[in-house]
Amino acid sequence: MKETIKIIVIVLLVVVSVYFALQFEKVNKRMDTLNTQDSTQFIRVDEFDHTVNDLNLKFIGRGHHIQEFQRALQDMDNRLVQTKRDFNSKIDSLGYIISEFRMNTENEIAEIHRKLETSSDRITELQRKTNRKITDINSTLSRVNRNISKLDEKVKDIEKNKMDKPAEDEEEKKTRRW
């Protein structure tokens, strides 16, 4: 009995050890598949880490680009504001120049109008004087014409008288000589 118990215990031990060996084999196979899956997961995680790192570097690079773009945009805004100020000051100075030009032009036009009025008055006065002189000349001419016609009449009368008196004059001249 002792022996049977020993044999039973040994058989049980063998069965249990075979069972444990089979279970251990199953667990080892399962562990191998888990290890291979874990290694593929590790590779995937490693690849993911590299991808994340690359993306971080890209984002950092993009961040630098964005910061550079923001600085350039700020510089451009500053230049735009400065250009706007310069443009406004030039517009203001141009407005002053235009208003000064307008005042000078208006003054010159007013001076031209005064000179034109003065010239018009002088021309009108000159026309009156010329008309008076022409009237005087016409009246003088008519007087002269009348005088000429009177003188012509006198000359004709004298010639007529001379024609009538030539014989008398010759006799008188003869007597006068002697």
CA Rg value for the chain: 72
* HSE, side-chain direction, 13 A CA sphere, residue 151: 6
The structural domains of the chain, with segments of one domain joined by +, span: 2-173
**What six digits make up the tokens of 48?**
């993911």
pLDDT digits (tens, 9 = 90+) for 118-160: 999 999 999 999 999 999 999 999 999 999 999 888 888 888 7
pLDDT computed for residue 101 by the predictor: 93
Residue in the block written with tokens 């235009």:
98
* pLDDT score recorded for residue 2: 79
Rounded Cα–Cα distance for residues 5 and 12 (Å): 10
> What pLDDT, on a 0 to 100 scale, did the predictor assign at position 172?
61
129: tokens are 């004087």
Sign of CA dihedral 168, 171, 174, 175: negative
Distance CA 132, CA 156 (A): 35
This prediction's pTM: 0.40
- pLDDT tens digits, one per residue of 84-127: 999 999 999 999 999 999 999 999 999 999 999 999 999 999 99
- pLDDT tens, position by position, 49-88: 788 888 777 777 777 777 888 898 899 999 999 999 999 9
